[in-house]
Structure 1
Amino acid sequence: MTMSGPEAAKPPRGKGRTGQANAEDEPLFDRELADLPPELRWREWMLRVEAVIFAAAEPVGHETLARVVGKDCSIDLLVDDLRAELRDRPYEIVFVAGGWQHRTRSRFAVPIRASQASTRSAAPALSDFEAMVLMAIAYFQPITRGDLSKIFGKELSRDTIASLRNAGFLASGPRSPTPGAPYTYVTTKHFLTAFGMETLRDLPDIEALEDAGLLSRQTVGVEAAEPSSDGEGE
């Protein structure tokens, strides 16, 4: 039997045109868990926070985690308790790039590589030269391709920059005040995440790299700026 008129135009109760439940029909999310005893409430908050961190593709900050726990809950204390529980596990929760992330402990890197298993967080493989270029940008940013060419004593190809950009490590910075106003390049939040740093202040001491002959501030005629606290150019 077919229907006509206004009733035929109405979607089923609680369903939109795509058959998905409307947002207003979703049950209210209970953040406070006031009906639970304090110990069970804390345990549930811990599990929620761990689940969000585990599922997230990028580091998760305070604001995001605060959406799943009570308003008076301390995110820092929850994470401290989670870290304590994971002390004997092969993975841990670390704070990188402004948020928390699940990471395999570094001592298990060798067996993971030996297994040849496909890992969800595998960073793009960089050549030795690309890694050196990325390191130079991290220390001297914002920096132009021309100044990078001076550092390495040869023309730096656009393909090298493109490869680092495609890997998510670089973004365009401000225009240089030099003639022609060329683009500069800066590292991204993903750069910090991939290399396990909270900010650019976690970069190795540049003087040690200069002593090893890996970098030279005099090559580009500038002093490396003090790294910014966020270390991202996006």
Structure 2
Amino acid sequence: MTDVVETPEAETEEVVETAVAPLDDAMVRKVIEGALLAAGQPMTVAKLLELFAVDEDREPPAKDLVQAMLEDIAADCDGRGFELVEVGSGWRFQVRAETAPWVNRLWEEKPQKYSRALLETLALIAYRQPITRGDIEEIRGVAVSSHIIKTLTEREWVKVVGHRDVPGRPSLYATTRQFLDYFNLKSLEDLPSLSELRDFEELNQSLDLDDSEKEALAEAEERDGIEEAQTEVAEAAAEGNTESAEAEAEAEAEAEAEAEAEAEAEAEAETSIESTGHDNPVEHTESEQTPQS
């Protein structure tokens, strides 16, 4: 008779799942507001979501919730001296334009005035990008100062995005995210249409610039013209120095060739004299033919 051994049933382990509580919406909003104030630069929705990703005991908020919170905060800023806007690099708090004249008094340095030539160049790059310096000069009808391109690149408003596949491979310029941020634009689609643009002289009148500001703009334009002329003179001088250097090199080469030719001639003459064994063969022959007295 065979004994039957009964095995005890395996004890089942109950896995207790700890529910991860989502962060309270009010706290999400406070974190977003604090981050935007402390960042000192625009922040994207993705960057804001990274702030919640490290919380293991909290479920991070959904992307749609963060977007909705940003829009609610922007709506709540109505009627205040600051606003929340979305620019090319993300969302940021900023002073409203109507309060800027007073707030700007916190800084003693006055905002820089830009010349008409620089603004026209920037506008052409913004609306015709990518564009070369030659294209800009062809449209404006005048040369583009190197100072203007340098200023725009140092401000990080434009950058080189490539080179045109033509002889000389000129650089192609386009605007940057910093350009969008500075002019409160979310994308290039937010640029005003060309039909909305007016002449810069009318723009100055609409801005109601005082005499000192107009003089500053005039001085900036004059400075650009002077620097452009100085650049042309320097380039011409460089070309002249190159031509004179080439002429001097050619003259030196000719002088060296003549000196070598003279040295070869003298060497041949010395060789001929040594082969005859006489210092003056003509006079020696004449002396031999003279009869003795």
| TM > 0.5 fold call | yes
Matched, 1:136 2:127: no
Q: 1:34 aligns with which of 21, 37, 40?
A: 21
Matches within 5 A, 1:1-234: 34=21, 41-69=24-52, 70-73=59-62, 74-113=65-104, 116-118=105-107, 125-209=113-197, 212=198
- Distance in 2 (CA, whole Å) between partners of 1:148 and 1:33 is 59
Contact 1:123/1:194 (<8 A) preserved: no
TM-score (norm 1): 0.66
- Distance in 2 (CA, whole Å) between partners of 1:166 and 1:72 is 39
Deviation, 1:175, is: 0.7
The runs of at least 4 aligned residues of structure 1 exceeding 4 Å deviation read 122-125
Contact 1:192/1:198 (<8 A) preserved: yes
Q: Deviations over 1:16-53 (max 9, x none)?
A: xxxxxxxxxxxxxxxx99387xxxx2222111111221
Between 1:190-199 and 1:142-151, the stretch displaced more is: 142-151
Gap regions ≥5 residues in structure 2: 1-18, 53-58, 201-293
Residue 30 of structure 2 aligns to which amino acid in structure 1?
Answer: L
Gap regions ≥5 residues in structure 1: 1-31, 215-234
Question: SS state of the match for residue 44, structure 1?
Answer: helix
Contact 1:97/1:193 (<8 A) preserved: yes
Deviation, 1:151, is: 1.8
Give the number of equivalent residue pairs: 173
CA RMSD, 1 decimal: 2.5
- Distance in 2 (CA, whole Å) between partners of 1:179 and 1:101 is 44
Contact 2:22/2:60 (<8 A) preserved: no
Which structure's CA Rg is the greater one? 2
Identity of aligned residues (%): 28
Contact 1:83/1:92 (<8 A) preserved: yes
Higher helix fraction (1 or 2): 2
- Distance in 2 (CA, whole Å) between partners of 1:125 and 1:48 is 38
TM-score (norm 2): 0.54
